[in-house]
Structure 1
Amino acid sequence: MVRHRKGGKEQHKNGNNETSSSSGSSDSSVGNKSFKLLSLWKTMLGFVCLGIAVYVGTLGYLETRVNTPFDDEKVVQNSGLSIPERYWGTYRPGVYLGLKSREPRSPVFGLMWYDLASAAQKGIRHWCDQGDNLPTYGWLWHDGVSFGEQRISDPPHNIITSFVKTPGGEHGGHWTARINVTSKINTSTPFALIWYAALDESLGGAALHSRLWLDGDSLLGHTPHLHNFKINLLPHSGKLLHMSHSEAHAPGLHLLKEKLYSLLREHKLSGPHGRVPALGQDEDLTGQEKEVNFVPIQLLVQPPFVLDVVYSTEDLPTPPLKGDEYTTVLENKKKDFDEEFEKKFKLAEKGYKQEDIAIAKAAMSNMIGGIGYFYGAGRVQSQYTREPVPYWRAPLYTAVPSRSFFPRGFLWDEGFHGLLIGRWSPDIQMDIVAHWLDLINVEGWIPREQILGSEALARVPKEFVVQSNAAANPPMLLITLAQFVNKNRELFEPHAPYRSMLDRMFSRLQAWYQWFQNTQKGEEPTSYRWRGREDDGLQLNPKTLSSGIDDYPRASHPSNIERHVDLRCWMYAAADAMATIADVLQRDTSKFEALRDQLGDEELLNELHWSPRTQTYADYGMHTDGVKLVRQAPKNPSEQAKLVRSVTTPPHPRLVTSAFGYVSLFPMLLKVLRPESDNLGKILANLDNPDLLWSPYGLRSLSKSSPLYMKRNTEHDPPYWRGQVWLNVNYLALAGLRHYARRAGPHAAAAAALHDRLRDNLVGNVLSEYKRTGYLWEQYSGEDGKGSGCKPFSGWTALFVLIMEGEY
Structure 2
Amino acid sequence: MSKHSEIRKRNNPDRTHDPKIKINDLKHKSKSKQSFTKPSNLATIFLMVIVISGIGYWRYQTMLKEVVKIPLGVHKINQDNSTSATVNPDRFWGSYRPNLYFGMKTRSPQSPLFGFMWLTQFAREMPPPVRHWCDQGDSLQKYGWLKHDGVNFGIQELEERTYKIRTEFVKRIGGQHGGDWTARISVTPKGSAKETVVSLMFYVALDGQGTLQQELIKNRLSAVTGSSEELGDFSLSFSKQKGPNSAKYNHLISYVSRLDKITDLVKNAFQVKAWDKEHTLPFFALGGRLVPRESPGGPNIMVYQVTVHLPSEIEIVYESGSFVNRPNTLSGDIFQQELTKYSTAFDKRFTKTFALEEKGYNSADIDFAKAAMSNMIGGIGYFYGSSVVQSRYNDKPIEYWPAALYTAVPSRSFFPRGFLWDEGFHNLLISRWDSTISKDILSHWFDLINIEGWIPREQILGDEARARVPVEFVVQHNENANPPTLFLPLQRLVSEMKGSTDPKDRHFLESIFPRLKTWFDWYNSTQRGSQPLTYRWRGRDFHPKHELNPKTLTSGLDDFPRASHPTVDERHVDLRCWIALASGILADIADAVGKDSSEYKATYAVLSDNKLLQTLHWWPQKQRFADYGLHTDKISLVKPKPPPNVHPNNLPPMQKERMVKAEPTYQFINAFGYVSLFPFLLKFVDPNSVQLFKLLGDLKNPDLLWTNFGLRSLARTAPLYNRHNTEHDPPYWRGAIWINMNYLTLGALNHYAKTEGQYQKLANGIYTELRNNVVSNIIKEYRRTGYIWEQYDDKSGNGKGSHPFTGWSALVVLIMAEEY
* TM-score above 0.5, yes or no: yes
Aligned to 2:215: 215
Aligned to 1:69: 71
Secondary structure (helix, strand or coil) at the match of 2:264 reads: helix
* Cα pair 2:189 2:196 within 8 Å, conserved: no
Q: CA deviation at 1:40?
A: 5.7
* Cα pair 1:80 1:103 within 8 Å, conserved: yes
| 1:288 to 1:109, Cα distance in 2 relative to 1, 3 A | closer
Aligned to 2:100: 95
Task: Give 1:132's aligned amino acid.
Answer: D
Aligned to 1:198: 205
1:516 to 2:518 alignment? no
Aligned to 2:536: 529
Task: Give 1:386's aligned amino acid.
Answer: D
Note the 1:312-327 alignment, pairs <5 A. Answer: 312-316=319-323, 317-327=326-336
Secondary structure (helix, strand or coil) at the match of 2:311 reads: strand
Q: CA deviation at 1:290?
A: 4.8
Q: CA deviation at 1:335?
A: 1.6
1:632 to 2:645 alignment? no
- Distance in 1 of aligned mates of 2:211 and 2:613: 62
Q: CA deviation at 1:277?
A: 2.0
- TM-score by length of structure 1 reads 0.92
- Distance in 1 of aligned mates of 2:642 and 2:299: 52
Note the 1:43-442 alignment, pairs <5 A. Answer: 46-77=48-79, 78-81=82-85, 82-118=87-123, 120=126, 123-184=129-190, 185-200=192-207, 207-208=208-209, 210-216=210-216, 217-235=222-240, 237-238=242-243, 239-271=245-277, 274-281=281-288, 283=290, 285-286=292-293, 289-316=296-323, 317-442=326-451
- Distance in 2 of aligned mates of 1:548 and 1:287: 45
- Distance in 1 of aligned mates of 2:348 and 2:445: 31
Q: CA deviation at 1:414?
A: 0.5
Task: Give 1:61's aligned amino acid.
Answer: M
* Cα pair 1:634 1:640 within 8 Å, conserved: no
Aligned to 1:790: 802
- Distance in 2 of aligned mates of 1:123 and 1:406: 22
1:779 to 2:791 alignment? yes
1:548 to 2:545 alignment? no
1:641 to 2:654 alignment? yes
Note the alpha carbon deviations across 1:142-181, whole angstroms, 9 max, x for none: 0000000001001111001110111111111111101110
Task: Give 1:213's aligned amino acid.
Answer: Q
Secondary structure (helix, strand or coil) at the match of 1:117 reads: coil
Note the alpha carbon deviations across 1:569-591, whole angstroms, 9 max, x for none: 11110101101111111211100
Aligned to 1:443: 452
- Tell me how large the CA RMSD over aligned residues is: 1.8
Task: Give 1:706's aligned amino acid.
Answer: A
Aligned to 2:16: none
- Distance in 2 of aligned mates of 1:37 and 1:614: 75
- Distance in 2 of aligned mates of 1:323 and 1:772: 35
- Distance in 1 of aligned mates of 2:817 and 2:160: 33
| 1:132 to 1:37, Cα distance in 2 relative to 1, 3 A | same
Secondary structure (helix, strand or coil) at the match of 2:751 reads: helix
Secondary structure (helix, strand or coil) at the match of 2:504 reads: coil
Which consecutive unaligned segments of at least 5 residues does structure 1 have? 1-28, 201-206
- Distance in 1 of aligned mates of 2:612 and 2:284: 71
- Distance in 2 of aligned mates of 1:309 and 1:356: 33
Which piece of structure 1 moves more, 244-253 or 698-707?
A: 244-253
Task: Give 1:243's aligned amino acid.
Answer: Y
* Cα pair 1:67 1:390 within 8 Å, conserved: yes
| 1:477 to 1:765, Cα distance in 2 relative to 1, 3 A | same
- Distance in 1 of aligned mates of 2:312 and 2:498: 50
**Residue 461 of structure 1: which of 470, 475, 490 is its match?**
470
Note the alpha carbon deviations across 1:389-431, whole angstroms, 9 max, x for none: 0001111000000000000000111100000000110110010
Task: Give 2:677's aligned amino acid.
Answer: L
Aligned to 1:561: 569
- Distance in 1 of aligned mates of 2:193 and 2:737: 42
Matched pairs, number: 768
Structure with higher Rg: it is 1
* Cα pair 1:196 1:297 within 8 Å, conserved: yes
Note the alpha carbon deviations across 1:313-372, whole angstroms, 9 max, x for none: 222223332123322321232121111100000001221011010000000000000000
| 1:73 to 1:236, Cα distance in 2 relative to 1, 3 A | same
Q: CA deviation at 1:483?
A: 2.3
Note the alpha carbon deviations across 1:72-123, whole angstroms, 9 max, x for none: 1110132121111111110000000000011111100011000012152750
Task: Give 1:599's aligned amino acid.
Answer: L
* Cα pair 2:635 2:662 within 8 Å, conserved: yes
- Distance in 1 of aligned mates of 2:308 and 2:763: 59
- Distance in 2 of aligned mates of 1:587 and 1:287: 59
Aligned to 1:596: 604
Q: Which runs of 4+ in 1 moved over 6 A?
A: 32-38
Q: CA deviation at 1:61?
A: 1.0
Task: Give 1:532's aligned amino acid.
Answer: G
- TM-score by length of structure 2 reads 0.91
Secondary structure (helix, strand or coil) at the match of 2:242 reads: strand
Task: Give 1:598's aligned amino acid.
Answer: V
- Distance in 1 of aligned mates of 2:246 and 2:678: 59
* Cα pair 1:263 1:282 within 8 Å, conserved: no
Task: Give 1:71's aligned amino acid.
Answer: G
* Cα pair 1:482 1:577 within 8 Å, conserved: yes
| 1:399 to 1:287, Cα distance in 2 relative to 1, 3 A | closer
Note the 1:721-800 alignment, pairs <5 A. Answer: 721-800=733-812
Identity %: 46
Note the 1:657-736 alignment, pairs <5 A. Answer: 658-736=670-748
